[in-house]
Chain A
């Protein structure tokens, strides 16, 4: 039983080698086989002739030109749709987003460059505007920041640019509201100083 099986395997292997040589050369089938030294040998004669017949007589079909171009057009349309979908970000990674502060959107984008803007050593900056807040360092890093989010969205070009815009607007608003020497502050300080000095001067000049 095993010997018979081995015999079949060996015959199948010989047939496979014959077909390798036969199909390697296009054109005349017998020339292809002969070119590789296969004139029969150990191969069963019937198998060899059947191989030659199938090599020669089994055609490769081609669909109609109309079908080929129609399918090509359909594939092009599908490809264009995929391209558009990719452009608007539908192939982005779903990332949860938390509600609340406007600056939370900054968690969704890379804002490492903002450290230069806000300054890591600026103690007056609100916690939400410190670089660590953008990176999610305050409560467990980026993973912690993602865990805080509640609503899933797709990250794409539109959302990312919106996040940058809102974060940028928040930073500019804070910088404007915390201007170190505003004209109003200077005027208030000047008025306050005058009020403190005048009574003392009056007292000095007032004769006892």
Chain B
């Protein structure tokens, strides 16, 4: 399209007002904003002495953990849904026949490459048995790449470490439904 095409609409920039032309009022206004922030409250969190305040732990996406059931066994049933949905391909599961009667398979090994992970939380959403969850631990460091590949024991230990602060997620609190509404839905 040419610049002189009749369909091009040339807009005129807004004219400067009186204050803009004299410049001094705008000068003062800019200065006032700056000075207000100069002495205003500061937002910096002095990590590591102070910790970040995590506003909503349920939706925070930090390091993974593998949950245990009541008997202390890993909850995972090795269904591979998390490994399948993972966009970064960072989950590696080796399944084996389960030694317990309540499920067919269990993960013989379960490793997550924390360096590959993009912390999108899709594994947590995909899991049908609430076995994998993202915690609020955010300062994850290691001295080698091997150290950052978390195996099953490590992931279970993350659960042991965080289970008191963050219990296993059961369900979102549903909005209260009155009996009349329920009846109306049934009809």
Chain B associates with chain A: no
